[in-house]
């Protein structure tokens, strides 16, 4: 069963456009560089909060991705637009 990454974060409204413009390249970088990446969905929540739901083939794939951090320009640009991390969780899709 796939591993689910749930990351909730806050974005300053002045940086929303930066976040959304960086998203396509971030996803392309994940597809090119992150083994086990399946898909990602970005959800806009109230109060300048967002939820990123990412599916990985295995927990090991997710852990390897976290270890790489913002190693490519598209990923770095997306992460740079995030103002504050609220929560990060890992689960299993059932």
User: pLDDT tens digits for 8-56?
Assistant: 999 999 999 999 999 999 999 999 999 999 999 999 999 999 999 999 9
Q: How many angstroms from the chain centroid is the CA of residue 34? A: 12
Assign domain 3-92 to its CATH architecture. 2-Layer Sandwich (3.30)
Q: Which residue in this structure is represented by tokens 């504050």?
A: 84
Cβ contact 82:19 at 8 Å: yes
What CA–CA distance (Å, rounded) separates 93 from 4? 6
What pLDDT sits at residue 13? 97
Give 47's DSSP letter: T
- Give per-residue pLDDT as tens, 74-91: 999 999 999 999 999 999
Distances (CA, A) of 27 to 20, 46, 47: 11, 24, 25
Domain edges within the chain: 3-92
């Amino acid at each position: 069963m796939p591993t689910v990454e749930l990351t909730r974060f806050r974005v300053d409204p002045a940086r929303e456009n930066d976040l959304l413009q960086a998203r396509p390249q971030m996803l392309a970088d994940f597809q090119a560089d992150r083994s086990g990446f399946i898909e990602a969905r970005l959800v806009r929540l109230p109060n300048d909060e967002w939820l990123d739901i990412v599916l990985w083939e295995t927990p090991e794939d997710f852990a390897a991705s976290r270890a790489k951090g913002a190693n490519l320009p598209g990923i770095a640009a997306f992460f740079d637009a995030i103002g504050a991390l609220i929560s990060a969780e890992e689960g299993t899709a059932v």
